[in-house]
Structure 1
Amino acid sequence: MDAKLPPRPSPMDAVALLSERPADKLARGQVGTVVETLDEATALVEFSDDNGEAYAIVPVALTDLMVLRYARLAAE
């Protein structure tokens, strides 16, 4: 049985960090927006405050991101 791969983030997707990034002052679970896919393994993600002010724009490995879903989606 093949394990289904998690969805790849696309530009404008909301994502959550799956690991700590102390050098960038980002904690596990922080939510950002994918700005651009840099290559097959990395995305540029913007993290902003409640006023929309960006406090970090950093490249993140796709394996360290979880795409957030806001619509009802049944698990398979």
Structure 2
Amino acid sequence: MNSQFKMLDIVALIEDLPEHNLFRGQVGTIVEILAPDVYEVEFCDDEGQMYAMQALRADQLMVLHYHLLKAA
């Protein structure tokens, strides 16, 4: 889906992973690049406490943008 992810990108899950108690829309941070298109993502609560860390493929994630993007 997107091989342009980089360290510390804020991402959201685009599929449910009930076996890991993670669900579509949950937001995390890429903390490690494990392999091409595989990333370690850390999920934290509102107080900064980590509640999950999971290796995820690029096709399971979308990067979130917090600034205006120019049209292509």
TM-score by length of structure 2 reads: 0.92
Q: Distance in 1 between matches of 2:52 and 2:17?
A: 11
Answer yes or no: is 1:70 the counterpart of 2:41: no
Q: Distance in 2 between matches of 1:70 and 1:35?
A: 18
Question: Among 35, 59, 62, which residue is 2:55 paired with?
Answer: 59
Give me the identity figure in percent. Answer: 42
Q: Distance in 2 between matches of 1:32 and 1:64?
A: 12
Answer yes or no: is 1:38 the counterpart of 2:34: yes
Q: Distance in 2 between matches of 1:67 and 1:17?
A: 9
Counting matched residue pairs gives 72
Runs of 4+ aligned structure 1 residues displaced above 4 Å come to none
Ranges in structure 2 where 5+ consecutive residues have no aligned partner? none
Ranges in structure 1 where 5+ consecutive residues have no aligned partner? none
TM-score by length of structure 1 reads: 0.87
Q: Distance in 2 between matches of 1:27 and 1:49?
A: 14
